[in-house]
């Protein structure tokens, strides 16, 4: 489906006290309390398109509307006369592809990072000849077929999978679904080369789209820190930091995760690299594993903790920061004298300062002193929209610990 002509589109209007300058300057969201939500606007079908006007009835942008969401409007195009059709999608995808092809030699990357790539609520990860779409906004869910067709036309991929799962969809009032839109269901995990390692991505059954591309530059920096020693990768998923360490000469890596399926993929990646004997996978609750290793006196030259989002919302912020502090407190004693500790957060609600402070408190409570030597973020295939802090969610802190 595509949008109607502007003359046929409904209109939503900002409240008199709302400031239109933010929209004019690139902020992409309109919250429910900023617009007039009368019976007419509330009856707009979620995922439809509308013209956003200021309180003086001057057009501001073309938006997609979801009256059921806290984010009532998402800016699709600064031109109120734009038409959201296959040509528009092709233009957006071509622009996104041009950036990734400049950055990467092989087609394994995040192709579309939602608002930052001009496709609100849309995540697309590419795995060679396969692509996975996460349509986390109602308009994208309705136009999933058009998105898939444009994706094939622009990139030449043969398989497009829709992964309609996760918290973001529930906030939009969307049901969970998983289906192959174009091509055939993959009969095996997809091998993904990154930083000299080989990862196995389960595109149909894994977390999110099957693999996290965002940590790629942080994996690379961590490869410089282990010094050929022993590495601990906690909340490892499919072996992100652990396999990167093995690929760069670490003597061994211990991967800890609660998912048996994820650890099986980590073992498969190590085997594909010819390093199966150097990887130890432990299925366990991370906090219990950290406590148990401390009791056993285990030490590692490099420890990485990359947990899920402990603070996915402002309401969860305080509890989330306490959890990050606890991770730091329990992991710091496991680092050998002069070794390194990497602490990560993918929580939107916890900004860099709050996360850094929680981590520093935890390290101190763990009886260690530290130097912060590097602060990392997601790779350039996860661009940040400067007006929207949520697009810059990932934080990675690299500490050197004293004796």
Give the residue numbers annotated as catalytic, written as ranges. 346
Pick the closest to residue 146 from 91, 223, 204 (CA basis): 91
Tokens for 5?
Answer: 């002509």
Residue 3: φ, ψ to 5°: -75, 155
Pick the closest to residue 302 from 254, 266, 359 (CA basis): 254
CA atoms within 13 A on the CB side of 34: 18
| CA 160 to the chain's CA centroid | 19
DSSP string, 43-76: TSPTTEEEEEE-TTS-EEEEEEE-TTSSEEEEEE
DSSP type of residue 35: B
Q: State how beta strands 108-113 and 122-127 pair.
A: antiparallel
| CA 192 to the chain's CA centroid | 17
Distance of alpha carbon 163 from alpha carbon 149, whole angstroms: 16
251: number of Cβ within 10 Å: 14
Distance of alpha carbon 92 from alpha carbon 85, whole angstroms: 11
352: number of Cβ within 10 Å: 13
């Amino acid at each position: 489906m595509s949008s109607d002509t502007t003359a046929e589109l409904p209109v939503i209007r900002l409240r008199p006290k709302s400031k239109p300058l933010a929209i004019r300057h690139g902020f992409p969201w309109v919250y429910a309390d900023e617009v007039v939500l009368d019976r007419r606007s509330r009856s707009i079908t979620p995922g439809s398109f509308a013209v956003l006007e200021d309180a003086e009835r001057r057009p501001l942008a073309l938006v997609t509307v979801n009256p059921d969401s806290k984010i009532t409007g998402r800016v699709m195009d600064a031109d109120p006369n734009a038409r959201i059709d296959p040509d528009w999608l092709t233009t957006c995808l071509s622009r996104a592809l041009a950036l990734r092809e400049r950055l990467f030699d092989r087609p394994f990357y995040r192709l579309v990072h939602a608002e930052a790539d001009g496709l609100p609520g849309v995540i697309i990860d590419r795995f060679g000849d396969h692509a996975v779409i996460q349509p986390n906004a109602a308009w994208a869910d309705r136009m999933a077929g058009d998105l898939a067709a444009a994706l094939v036309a622009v990139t030449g991929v043969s398989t497009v999978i829709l992964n309609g799962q996760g918290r973001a969809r529930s906030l939009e009032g969307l049901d969970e679904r998983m289906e192959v839109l174009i091509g055939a269901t993959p009969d095996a995990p997809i091998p993904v080369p990154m930083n000299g390692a080989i990862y196995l991505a389960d595109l149909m059954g894994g977390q999110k789209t099957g693999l996290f591309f965002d940590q790629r530059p942080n994996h690379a920096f961590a490869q410089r820190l282990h010094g050929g020693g022993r590495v601990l990768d906690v909340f490892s998923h499919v072996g992100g930091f652990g396999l990167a360490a093995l690929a760069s000469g670490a003597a061994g890596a211990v991967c800890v995760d609660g998912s048996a399926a994820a650890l099986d993929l980590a073992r498969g990646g190590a085997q594909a690299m010819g390093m199966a004997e150097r990887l130890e996978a432990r299925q366990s609750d991370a906090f219990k594993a950290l406590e148990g290793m401390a009791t056993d006196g285990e030490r590692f030259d490099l420890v990485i903790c990359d947990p899920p989002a402990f603070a996915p919302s402002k309401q969860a912020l305080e509890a989330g920061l306490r959890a990050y502090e606890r991770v730091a407190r329990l992991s710091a004693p496991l680092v050998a004298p002069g070794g390194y500790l990497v602490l990560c957060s993918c929580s939107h609600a916890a900004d860099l300062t709050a996360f850094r402070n929680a981590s520093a408190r935890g390290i101190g409570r763990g009886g260690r002193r530290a130097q912060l030597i590097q602060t990392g973020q997601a790779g350039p295939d996860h661009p940040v929209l400067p007006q929207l802090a949520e697009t810059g969610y990932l934080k990675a802190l690299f500490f050197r610990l004293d004796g």
